[in-house]
Amino acid sequence: MMQDCLFCKIANEELDTDFVYQDDKVVVFKDINPQAPVHLLIVPRKHIPTILDLKEEDKELVGYIYLLAARLAREEGIAEDGFRVVSNCNEQGGQTVFHIHFHLLGGRNLQWPPG
Ligand code: 5GP
Ligand code: ZN
């Protein structure tokens, strides 16, 4: 647990956050500034600042998160139409919270240019 990390605080239930899903490895909650009708953040409980900090020992966790993303996409009803899983890294990648997380986006056409 990192003292000044927003997502550590959320995962630690120090902030009042409604979890869509939680278990011993991850918490999932709605993005405060949604970019699509479904916009969830899948956040590992482990504090890993960026994708660049992933270690061999985190391989299973990343796979776990993708399987969970697929499951949540089905549950949210966006699986068939299509969805996006995004993880931003560092400034030009658009990362603003330095605790890795995976955006699950869907419920609208995300194609660009629109297909
Ligand atoms: P990033 O820009 O690092 O890829 O994603 C961070 C995301 O966290 C942004 O989409 C932002 O809207 C979301 N976010 C930032 N602070 C909070 C918060 O306090 N609560 C929730 N639910 N989402 C947050
Ligand atoms: Zn953290």
Query: Does 57 have pLDDT greater than 90?
Result: yes
3-state DSSP assignment of residue 28: strand
99 carries an active-site annotation: no
Give the whole-angstrom CA distance, residue 96 versus residue 38: 20
Q: What is the pTM of this model?
A: 0.97
pLDDT for 18 equals 98
CA of 107 to the centre of ligand 2 (A): 28
pLDDT for 1 equals 72
pLDDT mean over 17-46: 98
Domain ranges of the chain: 6-106
pLDDT for 13 equals 95
Cα–Cα distances in Å, from 28 out to 6, 12, 56? 14, 12, 23
Q: How is residue 55 annotated by DSSP?
A: -
Residue of 31, 91, 101 best suited for mutating to test ligand 1, as the one with most atoms within 8 Å of CB = 31
Q: Which residue puts its alpha carbon closest to atom 4 of ligand 1?
A: 95
pLDDT for 2 equals 80
pLDDT for 94 equals 97
Please identify, by atom number, the ligand 1 atom nearest to the C-alpha of residue 93. Answer: 4
CA of 42 to the centre of ligand 1 (A): 11
Give the whole-angstrom CA distance, residue 56 versus residue 47: 15
CATH architecture for segment(s) 6-106: 2-Layer Sandwich (3.30)
pLDDT mean over 13-38: 98
CB-ligand 1 contact for 7 (6 Å cutoff)? no
Confidence of residue 36 (pLDDT cuts 50, 70, 90): very high
